[in-house]
Amino acid sequence: MSPASNLAQSLLRALKARGVAEIFGIPGDFALPLFKVIEESKILPLYTLSHEPAVGFAADAAARFHTRPSVAAVTYGAGALNMVNPIAAAYSEKSPVVVLSGGPGLADRSTGLLLHHQAKHLNSQFEIYKEVTCDQAILDDPQRAPQVMARVLDNCVNQSRPVYLEIPRDMVGESCGPVPRPAPMQAADKDALNACADEILARIQEARSPVLVVDVEIRRFALETQVTQLCRKLGIPVVTTFMGRGLLAGQKVPFRGTYMGVAGDPDVTQLVESSDCLLALGVILSDTNFGVSEKRIDLRRSILACDGQVTLGYHTYANIPLPALVQALNRRLRKGRTYTAPALNYPRGLKANADLVTPLAIATAVNDLFDRAERLPIAADMGDCLFTALDIENTSLVAPGYYATMGFGVPAGLGVQAATGRRPLIMVGDGAFQMTGWELINCRRYGWNPIVLLFNNASWEMLRAFQPESKFNNLDDIRYADLAVGLGGRGHRVHTCRDLVKALGASVKDKSCFQLIEIMLPRGVMSRTLQRYVDGIKRMRARK
């Protein structure tokens, strides 16, 4: 028997039972009773940050990194509505974030007064969150609460999407039974699964040039080992999408790189676009993954396994969870062979000279650093820093590659460090840093010490690339490195390759606080990938 508990304790234990290891949050009066239980029960550690978007991003990154849910806890209205964008990002990119929001008490609801933080209706927040979560509930009935919590949390895990739980402030201390144990994913219908696996293999056998494409669901459902096995058995070329980059890195499979259409390696683009049978496992069919192709991929000739279903040409098998499908395919195939992991061409060997730094030089310097010292997990923001990150050889990158929200990088890095204890490398543009860079002030309190590469081009450069005539793309040259000490870290302002190599070396050595390396880049200078991306999109638009 678990100990007698109140509703909040039952909830925290249910979260822990589903693998949750930490809570990020900012309290408010509607959430104070909940936060009190969080703090005093010590069931899960609590990290408070400064602004709610950071709470959402940190929880998202922690969840991605560990392939298990994480928690973003906020107050009603002003808090929760501040966090809609990060949770929308987590929804799009399939990250299992549990939103816990305080809420008006049942007694508050009947006063006839408008409550502070109320938008249109008391339930407006609940309705808004329905659009960005896969399941949601207001825990207003302690009797039913254990069942409801179990349903919502199991959906979070099994669908790998955010969920929303609102806890009315006067329900927190109500006595509440234990929450049922985690329920496994709904099993597939055996016959349908067998028919589906047979059909997929028959199609691959008939095809002249089949290609396997893998994306985020492989990681979200922890299938990397099984998919590696499948790649060896199938023996067909395998690529990742933009979002799936880092999957299968270093595995002995026939790996060819990352497909990025016009922005990517032309050989990979040719391979994917001329295939007569793409097997897309766990792939988000987004414009960032597939839209930047000049030759439209014929999806009717593709096999798409995603969101618990499999579509082949014009028909769909419902309820085929990806783990079950991968297992069924593996069972049907004989032992594969190992392939030599291909040598991928990442830039290395930066000369520490007086040349001005470019994005390519940054990637080169980081590759050199990772060869010399240990590899750090990377959190990247939206902007050219993300495209630059594609030139870094690294298996663990979290970034908003599809939803493309700015402001992710710094808080995501903090989330990674809280969740893993590892020192992260954060890559962020000056525009995005202005949104959430301030969150670095929380490092001192928790002993976090990220290395931050701030790409300072005094510009919204990605926007300038598409619309150079607009003056609003010019940002001021803020001296970010000078701010670092006041925020609790150490700053380095870098102009040349020599400065950069030196600052990286010093940053790796100084583990006492966060390191802000402000890298000065001229406006108009882009990474290779962003340049190809921009040129390709312009070409495509000109043709329309």
Closer to ligand TPW by CB, 215 or 461: give it.
461
Name which position in 57, 290, 370, 455 contacts ligand TPW (CB under 6 A).
455
Q: How many residues bind ligand TPW (CB under 6 A)?
A: 19
- Do 9 and 41 touch, CB atoms closer than 8 A? yes
Instruction: Report the distance separating Cα 504 and Cα 519, nearest Å.
Output: 11
Closer to Mg ion by CB, 76 or 387: give it.
387
**Shortest Cβ 458–Mg ion spacing (Å):** 7
Is 459 a residue that touches ligand TPW (CB under 6 A)?
Answer: yes
Chain-centre distance for alpha carbon 348? 27
Is 457 a residue that touches Mg ion (CB under 5 A)?
Answer: yes
Is 413 a residue that touches ligand TPW (CB under 6 A)?
Answer: no
Name which position in 63, 322, 404, 519 contacts ligand TPW (CB under 6 A).
404
| Cβ neighbours, 10 Å, residue 279 | 26
- Token pair listed for 23: 């809570």
Closer to ligand TPW by CB, 167 or 428: give it.
428
Residue with tokens 């249109």: 120
Name which position in 135, 215, 381, 430 contacts Mg ion (CB under 5 A).
430
Binding string, residues 363-402; x marks residues near ligand TPW by CB under 6 A: -------------------xxxx-----------------
**Shortest Cβ 91–Mg ion spacing (Å):** 27
Closer to ligand TPW by CB, 339 or 438: give it.
438
Instruction: Report the distance separating Cα 234 and Cα 210, nearest Å.
Output: 10
Strand (E) or helix (H) holding 102: strand 97-103
**Shortest Cβ 534–ligand TPW spacing (Å):** 11
Chain-centre distance for alpha carbon 144? 33
Residues between 294 and 323 with contacts to Mg ion, criterion CB under 5 A? none
Closer to Mg ion by CB, 244 or 429: give it.
429
- Do 492 and 518 touch, CB atoms closer than 8 A? yes
Is 403 a residue that touches ligand TPW (CB under 6 A)?
Answer: no
Instruction: Report the distance separating Cα 233 and Cα 116, nearest Å.
Output: 60
**Shortest Cβ 174–ligand TPW spacing (Å):** 38
Instruction: Report the distance separating Cα 59 and Cα 71, nearest Å.
Output: 6
**Dihedral (Cα; 260, 266, 269, 274), 10-degree rounding:** 170
Instruction: Report the distance separating Cα 484 and Cα 506, nearest Å.
Output: 15
Q: How many residues bind Mg ion (CB under 5 A)?
A: 6
Closer to ligand TPW by CB, 218 or 521: give it.
521
Order of strands, edge to edge, in the sheet holding 378-380? 397-398, 378-380, 425-429, 451-456, 515-520, 490-494
Is 69 a residue that touches Mg ion (CB under 5 A)?
Answer: no
The 3-state DSSP class for residue 24 equals: strand
**Shortest Cβ 234–ligand TPW spacing (Å):** 37
**Shortest Cβ 94–ligand TPW spacing (Å):** 19
Residues between 414 and 453 with contacts to ligand TPW, criterion CB under 6 A? 429-432
| Cβ neighbours, 10 Å, residue 345 | 10
Q: What are phi and psi of 364, to 5 degrees?
A: -65, -45
Find which of Mg ion, ligand TPW, none residue 432 binds, CB within 5 to 8 Å per kind. ligand TPW
Task: Report the sign of the C-alpha dihedral through residues 522, 523, 524, 529, in that order.
Answer: positive
Q: What is the DSSP letter of 289?
A: I
**Shortest Cβ 401–ligand TPW spacing (Å):** 12
Is 429 a residue that touches Mg ion (CB under 5 A)?
Answer: yes
| Cβ neighbours, 10 Å, residue 277 | 20
Closer to ligand TPW by CB, 82 or 457: give it.
457
Residue nearest to ligand TPW (CB): 429
Closer to Mg ion by CB, 411 or 429: give it.
429
SS (H, E, C) 327-357: HHHHHHCCCCCCCCCCCCCCCCCCCCCCCEC
Closer to ligand TPW by CB, 65 or 455: give it.
455
Question: Which positions lie near ligand TPW, rule CB under 6 A?
Answer: 382-385, 404-407, 429-432, 455, 457, 459-463
Which residue ranges make up the site for Mg ion (CB under 5 A)?
429-431, 457, 459, 461
